[in-house]
Amino acid sequence: MTKFEDFQLAITPPNRGSKQTVLVSDRNPMFAEMLVNELSVTAALDCHFVPQGADLFTLVTSLKPDILILDPANLQLSPNQDLVSFGRQIRHANPTTRLLSYSFKISDSMVRGALEAGFSGCIAKDVNLRQLTIALAVILDGGLYFDKRYGAFLRPVMAERTPSNGLSEREQEVLVGFARGLSAKQISRDLNISDKTVDTYKARACKKLNLTDRASLVQYVFDNGWITSA
């Protein structure tokens, strides 16, 4: 028995036989490759190491990973590309890729930056692999995961935040899909949900935002920077 067998059910992909793709980027190649090898024990994950300095946007566009694990502290950011713009570019490369921060930097600024950039969670690099696997399961199921130490900073941050549009993550993903010109069937396949559920998310989101036609839907998505080109 492997240390991950008891969690395989939690991260079994919706389509049996398919795998969830996970990319791991870190400046320490030995650490990243070890993590990839450990996570690859479960048959539900297809994990790949991304060398530091690789073009993440190109890789996300081509591989369309379900999750990208990275340390925001390792990113080569600049005044023209902060963490928020990085997250926006990742969503532009593939709207369904979720970001997981995996870092030794545990602070209020890290949590705030990750939330603003659209990360689905933050977890410390010194947690055990069992907890990392749980985090992946939660995020792959459409949830958010912040470990205990990040959670201490998360609570006051979330208390300050009020939803600007009231949309759930899945509702936003569906709107982005339609704005890109995808059909309900294509979106359902990308998100591993049924066509009917896609239509439900779309109808619910449009009602919340008072969007009455495709043109207003597309305009809203572009105006909010969820995608920057068709």
Token pair belonging to 17 = 């036989």
Percent of the chain with pLDDT over 90: 51
User: What pLDDT is recorded for position 229?
Assistant: 54
User: What pLDDT is recorded for position 159?
Assistant: 63
Structure-token match 């650490």, residue found = 31
pLDDT digit string, tens, across residues 126-144 = 999 999 999 999 999 888 8
CATH 3.40.50.2300 occupies which residues in the chain? Answer: 5-160
Element (H, E) at 3: none
CATH 1.10.10.10 occupies which residues in the chain? Answer: 169-223
Res. 194 pLDDT band, cuts 50 70 90: confident
pLDDT digit string, tens, across residues 30-44 = 999 999 999 988 778
pLDDT at 158 over 80: no
Element (H, E) at 46: strand 45-50
User: What pLDDT is recorded for position 6?
Assistant: 36
Say which CATH topology domain 5-160 has.
Rossmann fold (3.40.50)
pTM comes to 0.65
- For 1-10, the CB contacts below 8 A with 24+ separation are 2/41, 2/42, 3/41, 3/129, 3/130, 4/38, 4/39, 4/41, 4/42, 4/129, 4/130, 4/133, 5/42, 7/42, 7/130, 7/133, 7/134, 7/137, 8/42, 8/43, 8/44, 10/133, 10/134, 10/137
Q: Choose the CATH number for 169-223 among 3.40.50.800, 2.60.40.1180, 1.10.10.10, 3.20.20.80.
A: 1.10.10.10
